[in-house]
Structure 1
């Protein structure tokens, strides 16, 4: 029974209409066509003459048919070997493609990671950006010459700007350290003056206490002197 597809076309006719492209398939197809022709011719002659198969004239056709079958088996074996080789080559190509795909995934991961790190670096805000710096005019007016040297010619504007920012930061650091030392010395002097004032104040308080004690002890003498003065004044008045 001839098999048919859904549209009712003969599958065998479809197969016959397919044009093979691989060399061994071309040889295999031509050999099948030859075997079909020889078989058909032998069967037609055998139907016409029942003794044809025993006729010596048919030996050539039978020998050719046998050789064709042998060659067909060889071509079929070769086709299977080439099919296996094709499968192996396909597997190796697939493995190579999988390796390349994994490498591509690794590169994409590394690319995305580097892009994230670049975005982080670009959005990073260092502490120096929060430090209030002197203006560039004040820096150029007050900074020493060794902190105002420029980069040699050929450098980019970005490099010059970065170099000038480092100079301003170094100058700001030196100024802050100098002012910190000044503040430290003044605080130290303030503490020394405070200790001196405290010592003098303590001494004054001690003198005041001793003076008060002296005044208290001198009160009877004061009364006696006052009494004598009053007596002398009274005597002078009576005279």
Structure 2
């Protein structure tokens, strides 16, 4: 089994060790300027490492925030998909339980449909497809009801025309009847006057021929 290697020591640790050794008693103090230059270089190196560490930390934080944002977005998207899935499942169940209006429409029987419908509406391919057959039967029923409704409207128009014609004839007959009654009344009055006049004239003796 391979032995796991120890993590590498951070660079700043070595710099700090060098600074500590430089400040320790083991370092010769006969050249203070050299020590100062060496210490300044190590300090600058340590500051550079600190800036790099801070920059890396900020970058890591940004990457972490971006990853967290992506994870949150993915989680939100998953929740939306689950919600949509449940919604679609409910809608599908509603559709399955829905009693469509066409189920209550009285249709021509299948035998009547085969006889009355156009050939292309009841071909063998259609008869073998239950869904298409139902659509064709509903379509044929719609067309037939439109045709019958148009016939009903035409008959109503004819009925209205006949009623108007009958009413006109009835009015004519009433007028003729009224005129006849007027003529009869006038004739009766004239006859009465003639009778009265005849009664007022003295009777004349008429000799019989010898």
Normalising by structure 2, what TM-score?
A: 0.59
Name which of structure 1's ranges 109-118 and 140-149 shifts more when overlaid on structure 2. 109-118
Q: Which residue of 2 aligns with 1:81?
A: 55
Aligned to 2:144: 171
Name the CA distance, whole Å, in 2 between partners of 1:35 and 1:94.
Answer: 35
Query: SS in structure 2 opposite 1:54?
Result: coil
Is the 1:151–1:160 Cα contact (8 Å) retained in structure 2? no
Q: Which residue of 2 aligns with 1:159?
A: 132
* 1:199 is the counterpart of 2:172: yes
TM-score (norm 1): 0.53
Query: Counterpart of 1:235?
Result: none
CA distance in 1, matches of 2:111, 2:165: 35
2:3 corresponds to: none
Aligned-partner Cα distance in 1 for 2:169–2:114: 38
SS at match of 1:136: coil
Q: How many residues align?
A: 189
Pair 152,91 (structure 1): closer, same or farther in 2 beyond 3 Å: farther
**Paired residues for 1:14-163 under 5 Å:** 26-28=8-10, 31-32=12-13, 35=16, 39=20, 43=24, 46=25, 52-54=26-28, 71-93=45-67, 135-137=107-109, 140=112, 144-146=116-118, 149-150=121-122, 153=125, 156-163=129-136
| Alignment partners' CA distance in 2, 1:142 and 1:200 | 53
- In structure 2, what is the Cα distance between the partners aligned to 1:205 and 1:157? 70
| Equivalences for residues 160-239 of structure 1 within 5 A | 160-223=133-196
Provide the C-alpha distance between the structure 2 equivalents of 1:80 and 1:102, rounded to a whole number of angstroms. Answer: 32
Residue segments in structure 2 that go unaligned for 5+ positions in a row: 1-5, 31-35, 205-210
CA spacing shift, 1:172–1:147, aligned 2, 3 Å: farther
